[in-house]
Amino acid sequence: MATKQDFTEAEWKALVKGLVGSGMLVSMSDRDLSDSFGEASAMAKYIAGQHVAASNELVRDVTNRPGNPFGFTSSPDKVRTETLEALGQAIAALSAKAPDDLQPYRDIVLGVSHAVAAAKGGGESAIETQMIEQITEALGTA
């Protein structure tokens, strides 16, 4: 299993940006201020939980207080574009350096995406489902 030290700084940033950006992308896709706090909380709890519970060392590393690579004022278009690009870079880095960690990374990215979508209660909206499909495609699992 790979750790943070096995990746360049740019590769590591892509891994983190892909993870956090996926949660943000799903949240921003169906904007409702009253839901934003619950979605942010769901994302934080999911990531923190994975840091503690994951059996994969890379997943524990990437979930170790990843921060917000976008800031709170980033536009939805910027988050979408940069997240999908970061996911492509992350998958390329994992494929080349740590293929055994590829599926656990995909799982955590999709997990945080679904956790954010479910935070509103009542299931995923159509636009959230569409965003998760785009994330799935970027992960190479479509």
- pLDDT by residue (tens digit) across 14-27? 999 999 999 999 98
- pLDDT by residue (tens digit) across 104-123? 999 999 999 999 998 877 67
Structural domain contains residue 3: no
Structural domain contains residue 2: no
Q: What percent of the chain has pLDDT over 70?
A: 95
Q: Are 89 and 14 in contact (CB under 8 A)?
A: yes
Structural domain contains residue 134: yes
Structural domain contains residue 30: yes
Domain span at 114: 8-65+75-138
Structural domain contains residue 112: yes
Structural domain contains residue 109: yes
Q: How far apart are CA 101 and CA 119, in angstroms?
A: 27
> Phi, psi at residue 38, to the nearest 5°?
-65, -40
Q: How far apart are CA 140 and CA 120, in angstroms?
A: 27
Supply the DSSP symbol for 100. Answer: G
Task: Spell out the residues 6+ positions from residue 70 whose beta carbon is closer than 8 angstroms to its own.
Answer: 17, 20, 21, 24, 78, 79, 82
Number of domains forming the structure of the chain = 1
**Model pLDDT, residue 1:** 80
